[in-house]
Structure 1
Amino acid sequence: MKIKEEKLFNKGFITITIINFVVFLVYYCFVVITAKYATDSLGATTAQAGFAVGIYIIGTLLARLYIGKKLELFGRRAVLRYGALFYLLTTAAYLISSNIFILDGIRFLNGFGYGAVSTAANAIVTAYIPEAKYGEGINYYGLSTSLAAAIGPFIGLLLLPMVGFQAIIILAVVLAFITMLACFKFKVQNIVLTEEHRALINKFSLESFIEIKVLFVAGIAFLIGIAYSSVLGFLSIYADQLHLVTAGAFFFVVYALVVTVTRPMSGKIFDKYGENSVMYPSFICLTIGLILLALTGNAVVLLVAGAFVGLGYGTFMANGQAVTLKLVDKARIGVALSTYFIGLDLGLGVGPYLLGAIKGLLGSYQRIYIFCAIIPIIVSILYMIFYRPNKPEKAPALKNSEEKASVTE
């Protein structure tokens, strides 16, 4: 159901945005330190450590596929609340990760919890954004994800050598607990489905799991995710080789600052001039940022690279979500957003494996970043050739069901 709110910064929008920020913060805090913990503390091999990082994405993808399909049937309220509870329990379970196999299981389950909560939040926020401000609203909401993608790794990289993995787990549990309380207090409006929509959800078909209309956007999100995974996966090692460890941590701070400043502007440009006015610049900026990373020899260049990567990946991540919303009607928002984030998460998950596999051929991290800088160029060409904006039709059945929707605590 669409909430009748004229202003963008209403209570519901702010609340779900903060919830989304904390959920992503916990995820990104762990993503950059899991491999190091697995090798240093659990005696895992490099391959085992890589699997521990990647299995999280498998859990997330399964959640996005299943929850994306069943979201409106289960109800957005229930998925958000009980997903947050499961996310808390599986985050606390890191405390018992005494060997690599237990860690793998916990990572998988934690990834499923993360996927469930984020899928629900991504659908819920659309009800609090005025339709005329979708681009601006999604960019502000996406700011929570982009900031988490910057602050989380910074916290992880900064705290791991200072306080250790166990202390970071306790911090994450506290954050997850506060988030769970907020989810149970937050009033969420469910969509009342017609029999037609229920039949489509219960039908076992590709269309019931995946939104075909956004497959192309999800595909370019996959490629952009691979390009950015070179930063998440290898920056700490690369910065250490260059003796720029401190600058490497502050790379993510610069990223966050740039995204914070530019995100509102990009949303307004999206609404006024259309998606192409922000998508092409995001591809160009990501390419420049990755080239600068490959050429860096000092802290200044490294931090400037962080600014361009923020302009590139940070801008694309939110605006790709806004494009997704433009392509579908409201009955398919949950499945469509799930499809988009499956592409993005899959790129982030398989990227380190693919890039690690070709490192032997390329010979250095500098060449990996050059290789990844080519990806946004290819994406921009594909986008220019194949992307065609689609004006979704209003689903009459859903329109009627919205009028019947009820609000309960």
Structure 2
Amino acid sequence: MTDANTKPALWTRNFTTCAAANFLLFFSFYQLLPILPMFIIEKFQTDNATAGIVISLYTIGALACRPFAGFLVDTLSRKPLYFWTFFAFTLCFIGYKALGLIPLLAVLRFMHGLCFGISTTASNTVAIDALPSSRRGEGIGYFGVSVNLAFATGPMTGMFLYEAFGDTIVFAISIILCIIGLVLVQTLKVAPKEKKPHAPLSLDRFFLTRAIPQFANFIFVGFAYGPVTNYIALYAKELGIGGSGWFYALIAAGLIINRLTTGRLIDRGYLIHLVGTGMTLNIVAYFLLAFSHSPATFFGAAFLIGTSLGLIFPGYQTMCVNLARHDQRGTANSTYLSGWDIGIGIGILAGGSMAEHFGMHQQVFFTCAIALVIADILYFTWTARHYLKYKLEG
């Protein structure tokens, strides 16, 4: 006899397999990040500016496909779409070594971003499909840990392998890990897409219009994080603080710790409070970072950024999914991810311009803190109320 209070299973075979494949995809990507500028400059004898443009095309490619990724995930059979875009993502690693002209590498980098954008949207949607609705927040939190673990270990591993053995071994390991991921994807049990009459094309098949407030808020969060991805090492140098690599490790630690607990609280009805707390903590973290004068405040800000994002990430994703119909989950995930991509891109571009104008990075992070204050006000006056009024699930 089954106990009426027994929770529905979370760690099903499909969910676990999808999380493992997602980790392998992100790890293969993250271990390439620290070595790619050096690889491009050495192989193509180019300058830092050109290498930076080529590298940024990955983000542009991922962003360009997000709205269409959601449409494809909701329209086509999810498993074949996931498998073949993951397969194309894997082939791109071979191209880095095979291509000999910088324009061709630029095209490849853009295509790599396209494949990444579609495959990650598909993986998120397949994982959410495998979750019981009563434990969706918890499951989204755990699924996000697969990305956080890759973020915490990938760049460090890639740099160690590059320094010890050169770039070839890094690309080879990325390919091998992706092949293992492909095998895992192939074992997923995903129900075939039901054949339904084609609905007329409309905006909400590409962008979840119900989630505009969440999308807008998430752009602000991404905007603040953009400069963190590119300029922390330079800021640490300005402050005379060494070991800036630990900054990212501490962000990942804060993220993982909170991810493991946030989901359960979301499922118990604390979604609005948790995201609000995360938004407010994020403001404190960036003000702390902007006025850092010692390693304690600098690295403390990193852990606090991770802690706040551990509340914000699963919270906003759960909101978007709960605002969508079942047949709009792909669109919900692509809308959520698009807000982050747009914010990151604007933050990186604006951060570089501001740093050049002001001559240092302190003002960049102070501006990020002010942007987050605006986002916090928007959240409590608009986004949270909108969610409570229009949510379909949760």
What TM-score, normalized to structure 1?
A: 0.86
More displaced, 169-178 or 36-45?
36-45
Q: Does 1:86 pair with 2:85?
A: no
**Would the aligned equivalents of 1:61 and 1:115 in 2 still touch at CA under 8 Å?**
yes
The alpha-carbon distance between structure 1 residues 352 and 64, as it changes in their structure 2 partners (threshold 3 A), is same
Partner of 2:3: none
Q: Using the alignment, how far apart are the partners of 1:377 and 1:157 within structure 2?
A: 36
Measured against aligned partners, the alpha-carbon deviations of 1:5-60 in whole angstroms (never above 9, x if no partner) come to: 92111121111111112222233333444344434553434432332222112221
Aligned-residue RMSD, C-alpha: 2.3
CA distance in 2, matches of 1:182, 1:45: 39
CA-CA distance at 1:393 after TM superposition: 4.7
- Give the superposition deviation at 1:171: 2.1
- Structure 2 residue aligned with 1:54, among 53, 56, 79? 56
- Output the CA distance in 2 between the equivalents of 1:155 and 1:319: 30
User: d(CA) in 1 for partners of 2:40 and 2:74?
Assistant: 38
The structural deviation recorded for 1:135 is 1.2
Alignment of 1:7-406 (within 5 A): 7-39=9-41, 41-195=43-197, 198-200=198-200, 203=201, 205-242=202-239, 244-245=241-242, 247-387=243-383, 388-389=386-387, 390-393=389-392
CA distance in 2, matches of 1:98, 1:281: 49
Greater alpha carbon shift after TM alignment, 12-21 vs 262-271:
262-271
**1: CA distance between counterparts of 2:65 and 2:80?**
15
Q: CA deviation at 1:158?
A: 4.8
Aligned pair count?
A: 384
Cα distance, 1:359–1:102 mapped onto 2, change above 3 Å: same
Residue identity matched to 2:277: P
Q: Distance in 1 between matches of 2:99 and 2:311?
A: 36
Contact kept? 1:324, 1:336, Cα under 8 Å = yes
2:31 aligns to what SS in structure 1?
helix
Structure 1 residues without counterparts, runs of 5 or longer? 395-409
The 3-state SS of whatever aligns with 1:17 is helix
Runs of 5+ unmatched residues, structure 2: 1-6
Structure 1 window deviating more from structure 2 (96-105 vs 80-89): it is 96-105
Rounded Cα–Cα distance in structure 2 between residues aligned with 1:30 and 1:349: 19
Is contact 2:288–2:301 with CA below 8 Å preserved after alignment?
yes
User: In the alignment, is the contact (CA less than 8 A) between 1:91 and 1:176 conserved in 2?
Assistant: no
Report the counterpart of residue 4 of structure 2 in structure 1: none
